Amino acid sequence: MEPKHSTTDFLHLEILAAAISKRYGYEFGGYNAESLARRVSLFCDQQQLERISQLVDPLINDAQLFHRFIDHITVPVTEMFRDPPFYNALAKLVLPRLASYPHFKVWHAGCANGAEPFSVAILLKLQNLLGRALIYGTDINSTELNQAKKGIFSRKQVDQYQKNFASVTDQVDLNDFFLPAVIRPS
């Protein structure tokens, strides 16, 4: 079992969070303190620092280090149609109302690798609404966001997402929305 963090660790974490908020505008108030402390401590270990307080100056003065820090502490949890009851409600209650608009925008904050915005796009396609929509996906984790921009999912991922998709619709197979990648020999 991992040791719990000390009161001093949490005080240093608060100082670090305040410095990050002041410098970059990122807020960590909604994070679980124990989980955040654990992730920050692991980042300190990678940087060969003994205390969380030693991160303050490097993070506020080095934007590249800060972005690596953000990528490290965020935990991207995502999958297509991850919450089938939500997507069912979206398809039955929300999308019919959006159908009355000539154009609309969808914003998915915290999109990670893009699986959930792609899920919305698939639902919109199924209801012939995709051409009216502008879908935005944002995330503070640049590595995940770059993956989302590619729009590439492995066959294994798509196979895992199929069960969730089948809970939302039985009209088509999820694989119908993907093109197989062409792998060129090197």
pLDDT digits (tens, 9 = 90+) for 39-98: 999 999 999 998 899 999 999 999 999 999 999 998 888 899 999 999 999 999 999 999
Q: Counting every residue, how long is the chain?
A: 186
Q: Please tell me the distance from the alpha carbon of residue 64 to that of residue 149, in angstroms, as a whole number.
A: 20
Judge if 104 and 148 occupy the same domain. yes
Judge if 173 and 135 occupy the same domain. yes
Split into its structural domains, the chain has a count of 2
Judge if 108 and 66 occupy the same domain. no
89: domain CATH number?
3.40.50.150
Judge if 145 and 102 occupy the same domain. yes
Helix axes 63-73, 142-150, angle to 10 degrees: 70
Please indicate, yes or no, if residue 183 is contained in any of the structural domains. no
The chain-wide mean pLDDT, for the chain, equals 90
For the stretch 148-157, pLDDT in tens is 999 999 888 8
Judge if 149 and 88 occupy the same domain. yes
For the stretch 112-166, pLDDT in tens is 999 999 999 999 999 999 999 999 999 989 899 999 999 999 888 898 899 999 9
Long-range contacts of 104-109 (CB under 8 A, 24+ apart): 104/132, 104/133, 104/134, 105/133, 105/134, 105/135, 105/136, 106/133, 106/134, 106/135, 106/136, 107/135, 107/136, 107/137, 107/138, 108/135, 108/136, 108/137, 108/138, 109/138, 109/139
User: By residue range, what is the domain housing residue 129?
Assistant: 84-177
Judge if 67 and 23 occupy the same domain. yes
Query: Position of tokens 């999912």?
Result: 153
DSSP run (H or E) holding 66: helix 63-73
